[in-house]
Chain A
Amino acid sequence: MDLRRFSNGIALCGALALTLAAASPARANPYETTLSNGLRVIVKEDHRAPVAMHMVWYRVGAMDEKDGTTGIAHLLEHMMFKGTKKLKPGEFNDIVARAGGNDNAFTSHDYTAYFQRVPAAALPKMIELEADRMRNLVIGDDEFARELKVVMEERRLRTDDQPQAQMHEQLMASAFIAHPYRRPVIGWMNDLEKMRPDDARNWYRLWYAPNNAYVVVVGDVDHKRVFELVKKHYGHMKPVAQPVRKVTAEPPQTGERRIVVKAPAELPQLAMAWKVPKLSDVENDREPYALEVLAGILDGHAASRLPRALVRSSQIAVEVGAYYDSTARGEVTFMLGGTPAKGHTVAELETALRAEVKRIADEGVSAAELERIKTLTVAAQIYKLDSTYVQAMEIGRLEASGYRWQDADRMLEKLRSVTADEVQAVARKYFGDDTLTVAVLDPQPLDPDAKPRAKPAGLRH
């Protein structure tokens, strides 16, 4: 739970209440407005240092792709640096760097986001640059071919040569047989090999529009001035009719699934994913908050149960973890996983991990454990204020997942209202066999003489 995405918690108890009251910015902060073309702008003033974090988020990601062109959302993200009607390839990065800034972008299943960290004085130029590439991108055939090679190298680096990543890719592809989360964000290599410039042009034309985007700024800025600048550079853009999004819902899973992935490695690995609910209704849902707390009690801080029981006490594992994120556009899973210690098997580790969940289902959790999670969550809200990046990411991710940044406070309150009974109830309800998918990494010896397993991509020299 180290990546909580809640904004300034207000309703607090004891010593922390005073602390937070002192730290809380004015209640009006963040500020937001929406242009007539649908572009939303969210500004959080933070005057600690003369810097600005500027982000543009597009409500489109890998989950919106079609089979045959997986990876196009991420590939287009790369192409966004390749020039516009006004800028030569590479000029975008050059302008940002000369302004004293640094910039990057990232793609997930749910969203595609671009950011620059700059001295506050350079923000107007950044707004101008992002507006330009929202509508004026030029995708040249040669630039596309070169960048596609870069993305293939990225896939080799991140996935094809990483046994753990291969296991995770195949776990997702098995846990979801219909829902688009079954596809890797970076795309299948075979789809990348067949990708054409028109695939990128079509993607850009469909999704890159003011009504499918929002701007997030955190830093030493005047929100009124930011609103003016955004209006100046984006105001003339027309909204683009958005395609109807048809996201295939995952049919109910009615039996356990198991896969094995073989790759050159030393240690076996285990990952288990259960289908669980996500947060749909901030105000009325209860279970997602209880699952968040359950994940925190199992893993996420030094005193949590899994490392304590399985790594430190029984020493069945050298590493264990739990992962759950209640906020997403798509469907979510609750994951447990780890690496067995020497002399133990993945089967033993699986049994032990499931026993820890069952122990909570049978015996519940202690008041101290529950309180600890809440304390850490509240502390994280204050620590977050030390980073404009973390603050901007929180706003951006909430919005991308279909919530509003204003929900953050409510989510924090809701999380703090979770009871021991509710944690016990979700532990009882969601961890059966029939909604479980298990992936095992079966390590293979390294044979230096072996040829690479993956078919080399057809590079045209």
Chain B
Amino acid sequence: MRTHNDFLQVIPMIRFFRSALLRAVCVLAFATPALANVDIQHWTAANGARVYFVESHVLPILDVQVDFDAGAARDPGGLSGLAGMTHGLLDSGAGGLDEDALAEKLSDLGARLSGSADNDRAGLSLRTLASAREREGALALMRTVLTAPEFPATVLEREKARAIASLREADTKPDQIGAKRFAKALYGDHPYGRSATVESIAAITRDDVLAHYRRHYVASRAVVSIVGDVTREQAEAIALQLTGDLPAGEPLPPIADVTMPKAATERIAHPANQSHIFVGQPVSRRGDPDFFPLQVGNYILGGGGFVSRLTKEVREKRGYAYSVYSYFSPQRQPGPFQIGLQTQRAQAADALKVVDETLATFIANGPTADELKAAKRNLVDGFSLRLDSNRKLLDSLATIGFYGLPLDWLNKFQERVEAVTAAQVKEAFQRRLSADHMVRVIVAGD
């Protein structure tokens, strides 16, 4: 609820820095800094659903997530926003219950049903108490929403109107204008470059929604992640319960390959006080062999919060920006490497120059021995922080499951970070980032 956030006048000092490093939970008490050991149980259900399970009886709660290959990259041409709309409508009427009845029943059980959708994935998450009545009731509702959504025409029209209102609002905001134009500049006509528009949302019909649902919400491509207070036997039953009624599904074509963009700078006029600056290019996939050198390097460059080179150069030394960051966002097709910051218009050119020099220096010379050591200590010794809640483990399981990462991904994480050398970081950055493909978008620049 946006209004809530506006009403809460608490100012955190700095934005949370996005990081593509997997987070996870370990409920075993181990001595620090020991290697984490997360016991992921994995099987494929009879209907083809892939299941990932971590058993944990420490808290009487259960978290379940079901994901599908149903993200925005599957939007048909001219219907950008269809995947998001379909996903958003799942709980707007299902199995003979209208949206209000579904919401009431969930709340009466103390359960929380939420969803997330991005370029690649769309799915639902449930958090419920593990006690039998609450758990069984909540899972039955989740199953109904996943397997028997009705997509009422009246709700579709209403949600289209809300989406259009929200799009028009977003198109006045410099950060959101910039994010859309940056995706377009990086990916052009590739699905990763498209954004919903007023026209594409207006064009969505109920038949489109039904077709998207039937094609993409299928058992053979369901990834079920389960964390919490149930047994293996119960987890097996839950996975089948949630996906058993779904059709097997037909194979999907692969998402198109990404064409690398030509270096370019795009300036967009806007009356804001600050320029919003985006720099980057498509780089890495999930399962990328360069993942560890790129992530360790990026911690040093702009992912490590206060201690990153970008923060030191742009914020600490010069006071140019409150937030400056970089990240790699690996996806099924090469996701972006992105640098972002916002700075008073008059100094945008100066700030951008500092960013460019910081990036160029890092690519040319790589990290110092001390920077590399500091990065490893944070990522290795701090790994337990990514392992301290069921919620975080669920996120990791879902990512490992959806992208087919190895089951020992979490358990090998620390040793693979430790193994990264300065030469590997430098070599990976030089090979994967190229000035010929570096795209810049500046909103509200003079």
Contact = CB atoms under 8 A, between A and B. Distances in A.
Given A150-B319, A156-B344, A372 B274 contact: no
Interface string A104-135: 11111100000001111110000000000000
A302 B107 contact: yes
A171 to B, nearest CB: 9
B202 to A, nearest CB: 12
Interface stretch (B6-14, B43-51, B284-292, B358-366): B6-14
Residue of A151, A341, A376, A443 most packed against chain B (CB within 10 A): A376
B147 interface: no
A386 B29 contact: no
Given A267-B169, A376-B107, A119 B33 contact: yes
A386 B316 CA distance: 35
The 3 A-B pairs at the shortest CB distance, nearest first, are namely A379-B110, A100-B381, A149-B319
A98 B374 contact: yes
A147 B14 CA distance: 13
A137 B114 CA distance: 44
A74 B9 CA distance: 12
Contacts of B25: 49
Contact of B322 (A77, A117, A157, A443): A157
Nearest to A372: B107
Given A456-B344, A459-B346, 12 more contacts: A15-B134, A49-B384, A101-B382, A108-B11, A157-B342, A161-B174, A185-B10, A301-B103, A319-B1, A323-B3, A335-B3, A387-B389
Contacts of B99: 312
Contact of B316 (A90, A98, A145): A90
A446 B170 CA distance: 12
Contacts of A48: 27, 29, 58-59, 388
Contacts of A320: 3
Contacts of A382: 59-61, 129
Contacts of B129: 16, 19, 379, 382
Nearest to A186: B11
Nearest to A161: B272
A315 interface: yes
B131 to A, nearest CB: 5
B312 interface: yes
B233 interface: no
A323 B7 contact: yes
B271 interface: yes
Interface on chain A toward B: helix, strand, loop, or mixed SS? mixed
B280 interface: no
Interface residues of A, number: 113
Given A48-B388, A452-B272, A386 B61 contact: yes
B74 to A, nearest CB: 26
Nearest to A20: B60
A184 interface: yes
B3 A101 contact: no
Interface string B107-143: 1111111000000000000010111111000000000
Nearest to A120: B32
Nearest to A22: B60
A124 to B, nearest CB: 13
Given A49-B26, A149-B319, A376-B110, A453 B390 contact: no
B306 interface: yes
Interface residues of B, number: 97
Contact of B319 (A147, A220, A308, A385): A147
A45 to B, nearest CB: 12
A121 B32 contact: yes
Contacts of A51: 384-385, 388
A165 interface: yes
13 contacts: A149-B320, A153-B319, A156-B273, A184-B9, A266-B172, A301-B107, A318-B162, A321-B1, A339-B165, A341-B162, A379-B111, A383-B61, A448-B271
Given A23-B59, A321-B3, A448-B271, A97 B374 contact: yes
A447 B444 CA distance: 11
A105 B13 CA distance: 5
Interface in B30-86: 30-33, 58-61
Contacts of B58: 48
Contact of A319 (B2, B61, B171): B2
B161 interface: yes
Contacts of A156: 273-274, 342, 344
A264 B172 contact: yes
B220 interface: no
Contacts of B190: none
A308 B100 CA distance: 7
Interface in A362-386: 368, 371-372, 375-376, 378-380, 382-383, 385-386
Nearest to A167: B6
A371 B382 CA distance: 42
A452 B271 CA distance: 5
B39 to A, nearest CB: 14
Interface in B360-387: 374, 377-385, 387
B271 A450 contact: yes
Contacts of A20: 60
A155 to B, nearest CB: 9
Nearest to B100: A308
Given A153-B319, A165-B6, A119 B158 contact: no
A453 B385 contact: no
Given A94-B307, A157-B323, A303-B104, A323 B168 contact: no
Nearest to B378: A97
A457 B347 CA distance: 12
Nearest to A379: B110
Contact of A19 (B60, B108, B111, B385): B60
B307 A97 contact: yes
A449 B304 CA distance: 37
A446 B273 contact: no
A177 interface: no
B9 A108 contact: yes
Contacts of B27: 48-49
B295 to A, nearest CB: 15
A457 B344 CA distance: 9
A99 interface: yes
B269 interface: yes
Contacts of A217: none
B354 interface: no
